Amino acid sequence: MKRTTAIRPELREWILNTTRAGHSIDEVLRLLKETGYDPRESRSIVATVLKIPLSALQPTAKLSGKRPRHPEAPRANAGDREIHVRVSTDAPVVRVLDPLLDDDECDALIELARPRLARALTVDTAGKQQVDHRRTSEGMFFRLGETPLIERIEARLENLLGLPASHGEGLQVLHYGPGQEYEPHFDWFDPAQPGFEAVTAHGGQRVASVVMYLNTPDAGGGTGFPAVGLTVTALKGSAVYFAYETGDELSLHAGLPVLRGEKWIATKWLRERPFLRND
């Protein structure tokens, strides 16, 4: 007998209790299928109850492009330096890297970026820049290889991750003042959105992110991964690397509010193919 799409209170409670008990979403979907639910209906129900994007539960093909090499503890080679891997998790793939940048490199990036700051934008469903109320910072982008410093950092990441520098978007520097934050979000682009083809036309899907901390805020300002209860402290010169595939709900992350002082970060997003733009 075909099921309706209405979510009964007892079903909602069962899904919540089952996931709280440590069972994976795949296991919940398997159990629903065994009791007669259509897989498509099950995904819709689970996405609604757990308040996650439906696209995160859609079956997706593996990306065909080149994938980054995840740095492994305790140390990783970045070409011109050896980097300590302070934290390493595999679900989601997260690595805390220290030090990725020297103090003088951090200071130089801030001074280069400062006169070019504007309200930080996100990418809309048509692949264009937009103001997003969830992101309250100021920011700017460098072009690939724009300065010798940018070129050096890109080469360092290429050596560290085994992914050509051409796969990276331009380095973005962001500045957060007291109370400013970036609410929980995914860095991968949602295939269910109408602008997916436009935003992935240059370089394909995003596959990894590197957030570099250019200063140490007086309080707050870390990077949180709420799906797994992990917070990475913002410390000058260190960075957090995380990788993901399309629909990876564990990669949900947030730029936590700055409680005192200010926060400066530099972010590099990596694509599955060379990222080429004319603008």
**Pair 237, 100: CB distance under 8 Å:** yes
Write down the mean pLDDT value for the chain: 87
* pLDDT at position 19: 76
pLDDT in tens, 82-108: 999 999 999 999 999 999 999 999 999
Give the pair of three-digit tokens for residue 82.
Answer: 């050896």
Query: Could you give phi then psi for residue 77, rounded to 5 degrees?
Result: -90, 125
CATH class of segment(s) 75-271: mainly beta
CA dist 104 and 116 (Å) reads 19
Taken in order 97, 98, 102, 106, is the CA torsion positive or negative?
positive
Instruction: Calculate the alpha carbon distances from 223 to 53, 89, 148, 152 in Å.
Output: 21, 15, 28, 25
Residue spans of the domains in the chain: they are 9-51, 75-271
Worst-scoring range by mean pLDDT, 118-127, 130-139, 258-267, 269-278? 118-127
* pLDDT at position 96: 98
**Closest residue by Cα to residue 28 from 2, 4, 1, 49:** 49
Is the pTM for the entire model greater than 0.85?
A: no
* pLDDT at position 128: 54
Q: Concatenate the DSSP letters of all residues of 181-197 into one string.
A: -EEEE-SS--TTSTTHH
**Pair 32, 5: CB distance under 8 Å:** no
* pLDDT at position 1: 35
Look-up of token digits 């099950």: 42
**Pair 41, 54: CB distance under 8 Å:** no
**Closest residue by Cα to residue 70 from 44, 96, 43, 45:** 96
At a CB cut-off of 8 Å and minimum separation 6, what does 247 contact? 53, 55, 56, 57, 58, 60, 188
pLDDT in tens, 256-279: 999 999 999 999 999 999 997 544
| pLDDT grade for 64, boundaries at 50, 70 and 90 | low
At a CB cut-off of 8 Å and minimum separation 6, what does 278 contact? none
Side-chain half-sphere exposure of 254, counting CA atoms within 13 A: 19
CA dist 272 and 200 (Å) reads 10
How many helical (H) and strand (E) elements, i.e. helices and strands, does the chain have? 6, 17
| pLDDT grade for 62, boundaries at 50, 70 and 90 | very low
Average pLDDT over residues 109-127: 76
Which residue did the predictor score with more confidence, 180 or 16?
180
Q: Judge whether residue 140 has pLDDT over 90.
A: yes
Average pLDDT over residues 212-229: 96
DSSP annotation of 168: B
Worst-scoring range by mean pLDDT, 45-49, 110-114, 131-135, 206-210? 131-135
